[in-house]
Amino acid sequence: MFSLDRMRALHAVAQHGSVAAAAASLHVTPSGVSQQLAKLEREAGQVLLEPRGRSVRLTRAGRVLAAHAERVLAQLAQARSDLELLNEEVLGPLRIGAIPTTVHALLPPALATLATQHPRLEVTLREGEAEQTIPQIVTGDLDIAVAESWADRPTVLPPTVSAITLFSDVADLVLPAGHRLAHRRTVDLVEVDDVPWIAWTAGSGCYEWLVHVLRAQQLEPKISCTVGGYPTQLALVAGNAGAALVPRLARGAPPAGVRVLTTRPALSRTIIAICRAGEEQQRGVRAALDALRAASARFVAEAQPVR
């Protein structure tokens, strides 16, 4: 491993053309520079300097190593500058995990805001359910997780994380247009006892939530399809494959052949941002939370629970 001081001495000689000038630029004695260069030659196993009259010049090996020294010193200077800017600028890596419905609707405007306001913040995004992303917050593999917590089945959070409420959302009942209840505006879920259900992927939190909701209405769910995507669920409903409960945030314009009805009881969830406790004021995390709040503003009015 080459000593940084010795690399700095070689770089100075390459820049100034002599040991004396290099020593003056480094504010050390010429003998001190010569000693550093002699040690660097021993470390490199190569002759780095050769006499040229009263001065010296770099050998081919010296030029190669001096070029590396220049890059190393420039990188160190940039690192020092970045550290000094930490108190002024938001920069560095930031890792976000988010449930699929928010990846589609919430994260694009939030990421656009971060890219505009903090261009040196290096954001990476992973899609994942809360059961995947929350443990990654705890272990430090993610900085922020965007998740959901249903009113009738709250997400259990470990004590080492903090949750920030973004907005509320509602799930509606989606039926095939030809179903006997499709002409209604609101339906008691207990009435929907003659149709199979379309659920999220088996074993996911969304799947377990659907089972929980139906059993709370004394309905034993007959699940005919399990698919990881609400647009696909809507298409299956349109194809008369069953009924689904779809959050408004995920729905968009429903396809032909389906009817959307509100439910009794209303099925509401809270979209939350999660980070490690105490990191809410870390600059990158705070910037991302601010961007998520700003992107959530349009949904606060649009997706209120039906009373």
pLDDT (tens digit per residue) in 13-47: 888 888 888 888 778 888 888 898 888 888 888 89
pTM listed for this prediction: 0.69
Conformational region of residue 62, where left means phi above 0, alpha means psi within -120 to 50, and beta covers everything else: alpha
* 153 secondary structure, DSSP code: B
Is residue 156 predicted with pLDDT exceeding 50? Answer: yes
- More confidently predicted of 82 and 179: 179
β-partners of residue 55 are 52
pLDDT bucket at 302, cuts 50 / 70 / 90: low
Determine which of 139-148, 157-166, 247-256, 265-274 has the lowest per-residue pLDDT on average: 247-256
The average pLDDT across 165-187 equals 96
How many CA atoms, within 13 angstroms, populate the side-chain half-sphere of residue 109?
13
User: To which H or E segment does residue 168 belong?
Assistant: strand 161-176
Is residue 221 predicted with pLDDT exceeding 90? Answer: no
Domains of the chain, start order: 4-85 (1.10.10.10), 93-307 (3.40.190.290)
Bond prior to 231 in cis (omega within 30° of 0): no
Q: How far apart are the first and last CA of the chain?
A: 69
The rounded distance, in Å, linking the Cα atoms of 51 and 67 is 20
At 3-16, the pLDDT tens digits run 888 888 888 888 88
Scanning the chain, the segments in alpha helix (DSSP H) are 4-16, 19-26, 30-44, 60-85, 100-105, 107-117, 130-139, 205-216, 230-238, 248-251, 283-302
